[in-house]
Amino acid sequence: MESEVIAVMEEANCAIKGLVSRLSGNTAGADQATLLSNEMKALSQKLAHVAKLLGHPPSIRAQEHASQVLLNEYVDNLTKLKAVLEKAKDALGKRRDRLKQDLEHLNSTQCWVETFRSTN
């Protein structure tokens, strides 16, 4: 059981680090990064699996140093992921607002053009 917990946590850590790196390393900003729904679903399933495995009563071996280091890394990675996703959410919200403004501008321009054509 302990080896399964370690393997699953290592896999989850790699997935989290990859996503955080991809979103953080994007020089154009988080609003240019794409979050694929299947990627988020797969990560969510991995996190749920880790949570399920960690929910079992800890064994004596679970308190070994290596397990504790891995668990600390997992918690750190989750904290980084949360921060990156919050930034991405903010950036995407700003982009949504800009797109709404652009749509309003386009609609008002279209109305102006139709009015201009009807009066000439």
* Beta-carbon contacts of residue 5 (< 8 Å; ≥ 6 apart): 50, 53, 54, 62, 67
Q: Decide: 24 and 84 in contact? Cβ < 8 Å.
A: yes
Per the prediction, the chain carries an average pLDDT of: 83
* Beta-carbon contacts of residue 4 (< 8 Å; ≥ 6 apart): 53
Query: What percent of the chain has a predicted confidence (pLDDT) above 90?
Result: 42
Q: pLDDT tens digits for 29-86?
A: 444 556 677 888 888 999 898 888 888 655 545 456 677 888 889 999 999 999 999 9
